[in-house]
Amino acid sequence: MKKFDVELAVGVFVLAGLVCLGYLSIKLGKMEMVGGKGYELNALFPNVGGLKTGSPIVIAGVEVGRVKSIALENYQARVSISLPHDVKIQEDAIASIKTKGLIGEKYIEITPGGSEKILKPGSQIHETQPPVDLEELISKFVFGKI
Amino acid sequence: MDIARWILGLFLAVVMNTSALAENPKDQIKQTTDRILSILTDPSHRGAAKAEERRKLIRKAVDERFDWEEMAQRALGIHWSKRTPEEKKEFVRLFEDLLARAYMDKIEGYSGERIVYAGEIIDGDRARANVKIVTSRNREIPLEYRLLKKGSQWLVYDISIEGVSLVNNYRTQFNSIILKSGYEDLVKKLKEKRSLEEKKEAKS
């Protein structure tokens, strides 16, 4: 009887541990368990300089969405982003790729525009700004042009 | 009969080619830039005495290529729709003035830089044209013009220098001023800047 109790206790403990581990990894990995609630927009960048799938979308310093996919299209990068339904993006909003700090992770910052036209799900943000390439700037500064 | 048709064909080809030539955003920008450069290098317009006349001519050339209202609306961003029609008109004039003066300062510092017209990308009624300014020290400054087609004219609504957008720059600044001290304060600041520049111009 005693052995059975101990084994049961161990089993329950391990199960509880696994459940906690699962919960933690999902929360930390920020996976959306309940389908993706939101809509998609896309933008074309000549260069994304290290932006990754899952990189954040930031408006006014607030993280509002994520990069869903990045694909090469005609030697440019087509970036697909997901945003919550209540965040409306105007037709003349500007999406720029910025870096956290000077050498941190890349993210997309969107500055809202003045147009009355709101982008419908699946449409393109036309105004984009590629990231400032630090190495390029340094080389321009150090070597200049011959 | 054949010769007549041939002549008509040739005539149409020439006419269509010349009008097509002037329809590209790159060519229209080149036209405006060439005009401004010719005003700057015209000996009859040189000298401090001719400064005001020169500025007026340059301003007129710039006006024909830039869509100030579009730029002002984009720069004001979410705050544009809250403005009354009179406020909008006033803002467009103030913004136009701010930019034209900044642009004018840079233009009048022209000292023989070479302007290289690189590629252009046209996507419906939107276009991007790339221009390089090569200084005497062979430093290259990449400029990207963003244009919208209105009728037969391609009008500039944004310029990016080294990948930094002019509209985005002002949009961020205007937004932070409006949120901090209100739209009236922004207008006040723009008016103060204008009168400061006017005083500077009067002295020179």
CB A49 within 8 A of CB A103: no
Does some domain include residue A109? yes
Same domain for A13 and A66, yes or no, is: no
Same domain for A27 and A59, yes or no, is: no
Same domain for A87 and A122, yes or no, is: yes
Both structure tokens of A53: 């799938």
Same domain for A78 and A112, yes or no, is: yes
CB B35 within 8 A of CB B151: no
Going from the C-alpha of A56 to that of each of A40, B99, B161, B168, the distances in angstroms are: 14, 33, 26, 20
For B68-100, letters b (16+ CB in 10 Å) and e give bbbbbbbbbbbbbeebeeeebeebbebbbbbbb
Same domain for A66 and A122, yes or no, is: yes
From A111, A112, A114, residue closest to B73, measured CB to CB: A114
Which chain B residue has the Cα nearest residue A118? B78
Same domain for A80 and A103, yes or no, is: yes
CA B83 to chain centre: 24
Same domain for A127 and A107, yes or no, is: yes
CB B23 within 8 A of CB B29: no
Give the number of domains in chain A. Answer: 2
List all residues 6 or more positions away from A38 whose beta carbon is below 8 Å from its beta carbon: A65, A82, A83, A84, A85
ipTM of the complex: 0.76
Q: pLDDT, tens digit, for every residue of A104-145?
A: 899 999 999 999 999 999 999 999 998 887 777 777 667 654
In whole numbers, what is the pLDDT of chain B averaged over residues? 86
Residue B108 has pLDDT above 90, yes or no: no
Does some domain include residue A127? yes
What amino acid is encoded at B138 in this protein?
A: N
CB B73 within 8 A of CB A114: yes
Q: Do A129 and B164 touch (CB under 8 A)?
A: yes
Q: Do A115 and B163 touch (CB under 8 A)?
A: no
Mean pLDDT, range B178-186, rounded to an integer: 95
Same domain for A120 and A56, yes or no, is: yes
Q: What percent of chain B has pLDDT over 70?
A: 90
Does some domain include residue A141? no
Both structure tokens of A73: 């299209």
Same domain for A74 and A27, yes or no, is: no
Does some domain include residue A83? yes
Same domain for A54 and A23, yes or no, is: no
The pLDDT assigned to B202 comes to 75
Chain A: closest CA distance from residue B182 (Å): 17
What residue ranges define each of the domains in chain B, with the CATH number in brackets? 2-203 (3.10.450.710)
Q: Residue B201: which pLDDT band, with cuts at 50, 70 and 90?
A: confident
Same domain for A26 and A80, yes or no, is: no
Does some domain include residue A142? no
Q: Do B171 and A129 touch (CB under 8 A)?
A: no
What amino acid is encoded at A4 in this protein?
A: F
Residue span of the structural domain in which A15 resides: 1-31
